[in-house]
Amino acid sequence: MKLHAGKEADALCLRLDDSRIIESEEVAAGAVLDFNECNEVAGIEMMNLSKRLSAVDLREFQYQNA
């Protein structure tokens, strides 16, 4: 699993595996699911982070394992 935040792209991307993405679908405004060849969700993208969060610092993440 990989998490990437891009300041230039203004997006947060979570890749669940390294499978090839063949299709993407915006399921809500700025929320995109990436599908692999088996039609499984292989990634999640949150677009327009700066509009969603008031003071986003892409260098700092908090991770919580439940």
Instruction: Per residue of the chain (66 residues), give pLDDT as tens.
Output: 998 887 788 888 999 999 999 999 999 999 999 999 999 999 999 998 878 776 656 566 666 676
Give the span between the Cα atoms of 64 and 26, in whole angstroms: 26
Give the span between the Cα atoms of 34 and 14, in whole angstroms: 10
For residue 27, is it within any domain?
Answer: yes
Residue in 58, 62, 63, 64 with CA at minimum distance from that of residue 10: 58
Q: Which domain holds residue 45?
A: 2-49
Q: How many domains does the chain have?
A: 1
pTM above the 0.85 mark? no
For residue 66, is it within any domain?
Answer: no
